[in-house]
């Protein structure tokens, strides 16, 4: 099944909003066996929407539209579909009733122009939208080019996402008969792209599943993608390759698919009944904030110190003699920060981070110089590197490496 996506909205053409809907939909189509050939954005202009839609219908079996279903004069998706198909909209009483009830329930007069949110055309049925007032349209039409489907969804991402998952994807699964593309992502830590490429060379040549290696912000991802008639068949193709990749890579694989590093490391802490404390200088609290982005992190995260000023480090127990001897930007200070965090909060593990996120150098050391240490109660394992991509990126990278290092310490502890 050939598909294309049309996003409707002048605000996208003005660059005022980034169209994340079409990327969301695009990422979901391969697993349904639907091939996406084009994506377009068109403004709130009926002639141009109709033109774009007609061209799409001439070459694609399925056209997925988002936006333009609101109640205002600028919302022209319904009008455009009707015009492109040569049909006349009518008010559907089953849609009108809940719409009026919605306004009545809020004690607000019903604006008559909103009645178009209760429109249908003969080829269209309504798609439920419990998160908003605009139902979607599911359109089926036999044309001279063949059977055509149009799906129109609201532009508000939360409404669109729900409508896609609960209503649209299940129906598309019924009508699409293409090969499904199912992917499995193995996320790794602490080894470079080219090393993994070498190690995995025995399985990189396969065609189905295909194996790709991608450097991402949270480490290198190994992507195994299989095509098959059913999801089960695709998974059966993936499993032996995944097993082989895991055998080769060993413990550097820390998670799969949508898992985050902070959730993976947090789960290890919780399972073992261990706790964590942090002392951060250059990352300014981003490590603590990232750790606590995970639901239930209060089970293992006790707290942290953001010791931006040197005096704040000393006040929190860092040895001034170590600062004096090695400078505040040093592996030794990172190690002592890890110790002091651990002891200060009575945690199983402490993490210390010191460095320069930029843009100016400190103590003669360049921006991007980072020292991280994890203390397990016996000793601190430090790690140092210099890599400068700008202040905010430098902070993120340091947090990722700190979590890598904690994971390694937990694995080493067995």
Contacts with a second copy by CB under 8 A lie at: 12-20, 22-30, 36-43, 48, 52, 55, 278, 280, 283-289, 291-293, 295, 297-298, 301-309, 311-312, 315, 344-345, 358-359, 391-392, 395
State how far the Cα of 142 lies from the Cα of 128, in Å rounded to an integer.
24
Query: Considering the complex, what minimum distance in angstroms separates the CB of residue 412 from a second copy?
Result: 26
Nearest to a second copy of 255, 358 (CB atom): 358
Nearest to a second copy of 4, 242 (CB atom): 4
Helices (H) and strands (E) in the chain, counts: 16, 17
State how far the Cα of 111 lies from the Cα of 127, in Å rounded to an integer.
22
Query: Considering the complex, what minimum distance in angstroms separates the CB of residue 331 from a second copy?
Result: 21
Q: Which two tokens stand for residue 142?
A: 């036999």
Q: Which two tokens stand for residue 158?
A: 């939360």
Nearest to a second copy of 179, 292 (CB atom): 292
Query: Considering the complex, what minimum distance in angstroms separates the CB of residue 147 from a second copy?
Result: 22
Query: Considering the complex, what minimum distance in angstroms separates the CB of residue 92 from a second copy?
Result: 32
Q: Which two tokens stand for residue 210?
A: 């295909």
State how far the Cα of 292 lies from the Cα of 276, in Å rounded to an integer.
11
Give the CA angle between residues 373, 379, 382 to the nearest 5°. 25
Query: Considering the complex, what minimum distance in angstroms separates the CB of residue 209 from a second copy?
Result: 15
Question: Burial of 311 by CB count in 10 Å (0-12 exposed, 13-18 middle, 19+ buried)?
Answer: exposed
Identify which of 203, 217, 178, 249 has the alpha carbon closest to the alpha carbon of residue 29. Answer: 178
Q: Which two tokens stand for residue 195?
A: 């090393």
State how far the Cα of 81 lies from the Cα of 87, in Å rounded to an integer.
8
Q: Which helix (H) or strand (E) holds 211?
A: strand 210-216
Is residue 366 classed as helix, strand or coil in its secondary structure?
coil
Cα of first residue to Cα of last residue in the chain, in angstroms, is 50
Nearest to a second copy of 22, 117 (CB atom): 22
Query: Considering the complex, what minimum distance in angstroms separates the CB of residue 370 from a second copy?
Result: 14
Could you tell me if 117 and 135 are in contact, meaning their C-beta atoms sit under 8 angstroms apart? yes
Nearest to a second copy of 287, 409 (CB atom): 287
State how far the Cα of 370 lies from the Cα of 321, in Å rounded to an integer.
20
Query: Considering the complex, what minimum distance in angstroms separates the CB of residue 153 from a second copy?
Result: 16
Query: Considering the complex, what minimum distance in angstroms separates the CB of residue 392 from a second copy?
Result: 6
């Amino acid at each position: 099944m050939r598909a294309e996506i049309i996003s409707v909205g002048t605000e996208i053409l003005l660059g005022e909003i980034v169209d994340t809907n079409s990327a969301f939909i695009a990422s979901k189509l391969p697993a349904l066996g639907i091939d996406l050939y084009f994506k377009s954005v068109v403004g709130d202009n009926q002639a141009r929407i109709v033109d774009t839609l007609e061209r799409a219908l001439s070459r694609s079996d399925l056209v997925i539209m988002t936006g333009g279903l609101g109640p205002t004069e600028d919302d022209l998706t319904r009008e455009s579909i009707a015009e492109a198909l040569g049909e006349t909209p009518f008010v559907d009483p089953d849609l009108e009733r809940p719409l009026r009830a919605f306004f009545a329930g809020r004690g607000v007069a019903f604006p008559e122009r909103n009645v178009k949110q209760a429109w249908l055309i003969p080829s269209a049925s309504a798609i439920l939208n419990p998160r908003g007032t605009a139902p979607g349209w599911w359109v089926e039409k036999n044309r001279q080019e063949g059977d055509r489907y149009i799906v129109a969804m609201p532009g508000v991402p939360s409404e669109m996402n729900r409508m896609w998952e609960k209503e649209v994807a299940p129906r598309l699964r019924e009508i699409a008969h293409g090969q499904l593309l199912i992917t499995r992502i193995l996320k790794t830590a602490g080894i470079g792209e080219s090393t993994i490429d070498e190690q995995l060379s025995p399985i990189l040549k396969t065609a189905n599943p295909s194996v790709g290696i991608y450097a991402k912000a949270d480490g290198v991802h190994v992507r195994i993608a299989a095509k098959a008639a059913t999801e089960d068949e695709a998974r059966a193709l993936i499993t032996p390759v995944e097993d082989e990749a895991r055998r080769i890579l060993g413990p550097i694989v820390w998670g799969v698919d949508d898992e985050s590093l902070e959730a993976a490391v947090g789960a290890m802490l919780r399972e073992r009944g261990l706790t964590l404390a942090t002392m951060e200088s250059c990352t300014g609290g981003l490590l603590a904030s990232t750790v606590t982005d995970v639901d239930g992190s209060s089970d293992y995260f006790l707290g942290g110190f953001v010791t931006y000023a040197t005096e704040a480090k000393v006040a929190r127990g860092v040895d001034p003699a170590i600062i004096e001897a090695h400078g505040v930007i040093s592996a030794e200070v990172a190690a002592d920060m890890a110790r002091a965090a651990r002891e200060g909060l009575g945690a199983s593990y402490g993490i210390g981070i010191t460095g320069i996120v930029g843009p100016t150098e400190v103590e003669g050391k360049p921006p991007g110089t980072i020292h991280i240490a994890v203390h397990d109660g016996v000793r601190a394992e430090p790690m140092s590197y210099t890599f400068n991509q700008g202040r905010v990126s430098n902070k993120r990278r340091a947090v990722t490496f700190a979590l890598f290092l904690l994971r390694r310490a937990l694995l080493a502890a067995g």
